[in-house]
Structure formats: structure tokens, C-alpha cells
Structure 1
Amino acid sequence: MNVTRQKGPTMPAHTEQHRKVIADAVVSMDGYTSTGPEDDMSWAMEHITSEQSEVMYEGIWRGVSTAVMGRVNWEGFTSVWPGLTSDPSSSARTRDLGNWLATVDKVVISTTLQQSDLDKTEWTNARVSRDLETEVRSLKAAPGRDILVLNSASVIQALLKADLIDELCMTVLPTTLGRGVRLLPEGLSSKWRLSHAITIPATGAVALSYRRP
């Protein structure tokens, strides 16, 4: 496995008393996380499905007990992942991730979805929340492992503005989109410290993880 990691300053070990909110997203070189509402993520699939990326993502999700996402990602994930999980040609890591996604505690931030919409899918253990900030503050105060925001730009932007993200993970792909949804909100001023950086030679991507100072 040829994954190069550059470590930043050593951080204190995570404890149950402080659940980190980790935001993870794939972005283009020009800062977009999707081309828009109908984005099929084809521009990122080579990276997402690579063996080296699977190893990196496994290092994140195995430490998480709650996943947070927006409506668009919920609908996209639930339409794709059950098939990937049950496909015998999928890698063991892909199937493990699919099973984790299907069963982990999930909070879907939406003003339009109803609980009945979530209950129609193959995934279990999911609920709708209307109030993002209140929900995340409550999750941080509850016992459990870390909280992962899954590639939902609108959710990540709102949590950045509310200063509720402890770790920001961005995987920069060697492509430009020219348009779409930007990951980082306009007008946000903040400082971060590099936790670690990983290069993924197979796809030319660079994964950057930043933490609050």
C-alpha cells in the first residue's frame, strides 16, 4: 500500500467526554464539492473507489458512532450504497463501509423529508432533524464516539459558521469543475492547525485534515 502520510503535531487522545464533530468532504482543486443538485459524483468516483482511499476512509468511520448528512446526500447514498454493499464483486472494505452506513446512528438534516421517507429505505437507525445547531450541540454533549458529517456542503457550511466543527477533512482531487457548490462558505474567517496530510498516488489526490488550534 503506497499511501504517504505527513503527521502534524501530536494531539491528545480522544475521550468519551468530548465527541469531536468531523466534517469530511471531497473537493475539486477550485474548491467545489459538487457540480450542483444533479451531481452524479462521476468526477470523484475513481478516487472514492480506489483501494488507497478505502483504507483512509476506514480510519475515519471506525471511530464514529453518529453520521450526519443533508437530504441530497441521504437520497444519493441510499440509492447507491445498498447495491454496492450486496454486490459480491465489491471489496471487503466497501461492504464493511456499506454495512456501517446501513446500521450506524444517522441524523438527516432536512426541512422537507419526513420520518416515513427514511423508513422506506433499506437503511435503519435514521431519523430526521429540523434544527442542525441544536441537534449537533446535543450530540456533542451525549456519550458516544465521534460525529461524522458526510460530504454535505450545506451542513458543513452551517456548522463552520456556528463554530461547531472540530476537525475538517478535505480530500482535494486533481480536477477543476468550474462551477457548482463550494465547500467553504463566503465571508468565514477562521484558523486551523494541520493534523495530518496523506497523498494518494493512485489518484493524485491529497487528503488534508485540520483541527482547531
Structure 2
Amino acid sequence: MTNRRIVAWASITLDGYTSGPGGPAHDDWLYEHAGQEQTAEYFEGIWRGADTIVLGRTNYEGFHSVWPGITRDVRTDPRTRALGRWLDATEKVVASRTLTEAPWENSRIARDLEVEVRALRQAAGRDVLVINSASVIQALLRADLVDDLRLAVVPVLVGGGLRLLPDGVSTAFGTVGVTVLRHGAVGLHYRRR
């Protein structure tokens, strides 16, 4: 019996990619999806249940480069500002073998992802949320450490890039919920059996 659930959250294309062949700089489909009000509303229902975030180095650096500024910008809408404040205040565990410092407040580096997540899972607290870090989610799926899989499937095909779900993993999930967003994306919530 675990004390906390490890919840993997990612936005993916219909063909299963978290990023297209041109990399994040060319993922217009993702930025358009993320900018929708209903996407923000749906994601809020996920992040409000977590008190720890696990990120890979690339997402950590990307989030840290933009979120503090978004949070302080007076033009930012209240829901987005609340997410930014939560990102600032929440414990952030960065899975990296190369990062030497984690300057964003409440951040720390984890060299051994599996050991760290097993410890987080057994500690007291709310959900541990792995945010859109494909390599981290893949490693945790291989180690059978994902309790909930939360996907936003965006109705586009990109034809290649960074695939979310790894080959060679056999895990059964049951459907907990399905949410259709007005702009065509579908939120899927699966829980490990």
C-alpha cells in the first residue's frame, strides 16, 4: 500500500508524441493547446492535488526560464498566476545526472530517479506529479512506478519526434475518467490496476 500516488501528466499528439520532429521550438500544437482556457481549467484539477513535482532537466530549465516572470506579470490571468505561484512554492525534484544546481526555490536534484520516487511514494503527503517529462515518465513506467497516467490527447499528427510511451513496458491500467475539451483535445485519466 502506498501513501502517495505517482501521477504522470503529459500532453500528446494522436500519434503519441510529446514533441514533434523539430523539437519544442516548433511545437505550435502544444502551445496552442496549453493556451486554451479549458486546458488550464482541466490541468488545475490535476495540479491542485499534488504537493511535489518531478521534472527532467530540460523541462525544469524551461519552466524556470518562463514561469517566475509569468507569475509576476500583472497582465497574467488569475488561474495562470495561481499555477505559477504553485510552481514556485511546491517542492520540485529534478531528475538529472548532469545538472549541478537547481536555483528555482524549493528545488533539489535527484541523481537516482527510481530511489527518489520510491522514497517520495512512501512519504506522507499528497500526489507526486511528473509534469510532461517524457524521459522521466518512460523510466518510471519501466520501473512500474506510475500509479496514475493523465494524458491530454491533442488531435494532431506530427509524424515523429519524442514519443511518450516506451516499447517493452507491460502494465495494465483502468479508465478513471474521460473529459472532452471544447477545442478538441481529450483528457484521459488511467489508474494502474
Flag whether TM exceeds 0.5 (same fold).
yes
Letter in 1 for 2:177: H
Maintained 8 Å contact 2:4/2:127: yes
CA–CA separation in structure 2 for the residues paired with 1:207 and 1:89: 28
Matches within 5 A, 1:1-213: 18-35=3-20, 38-40=23-25, 41-115=27-101, 118-119=102-103, 123-201=104-182, 203-213=183-193
Report deviation, 1:42. 2.4
**Residues 112 and 37 from structure 1, CA distance in 2 versus in 1: closer, same or farther, beyond 3 angstroms?**
farther
CA–CA separation in structure 1 for the residues paired with 2:124 and 2:21: 36
Q: TM-score, normalised by structure 2?
A: 0.95
**Other structure's SS at 1:60 match:** helix
- Mind listing any 5+ residue stretches in structure 2 that lack a counterpart? none
Letter in 2 for 1:194: T
**Residues 99 and 37 from structure 1, CA distance in 2 versus in 1: closer, same or farther, beyond 3 angstroms?**
farther
Letter in 2 for 1:172: V
CA–CA separation in structure 2 for the residues paired with 1:146 and 1:125: 17
- Is the deviation greater in 22-31 or in 188-197? 188-197
**Other structure's SS at 2:189 match:** strand
- Mind listing any 5+ residue stretches in structure 1 that lack a counterpart? 1-14
Q: Which runs of 4+ in 1 moved over 2 A?
A: 35-38
**Other structure's SS at 2:29 match:** coil
CA–CA separation in structure 2 for the residues paired with 1:93 and 1:171: 19
**Cα offsets for 1:162-203 (capped at 9, x unmatched):** 1100000110001111111100001212211000000001x2
**Cα offsets for 1:109-129 (capped at 9, x unmatched):** 0011012xx22xxx3000001
Report deviation, 1:36. 5.6
Q: TM-score, normalised by structure 1?
A: 0.86
Report deviation, 1:83. 2.1
CA–CA separation in structure 1 for the residues paired with 2:169 and 2:144: 10
Cα RMSD over matched residues? Answer: 1.5
**Cα offsets for 1:94-141 (capped at 9, x unmatched):** 0000011011000000011012xx22xxx3000001100000000011
CA–CA separation in structure 2 for the residues paired with 1:207 and 1:64: 18
CA–CA separation in structure 1 for the residues paired with 2:125 and 2:22: 33
| Paired residue total | 192
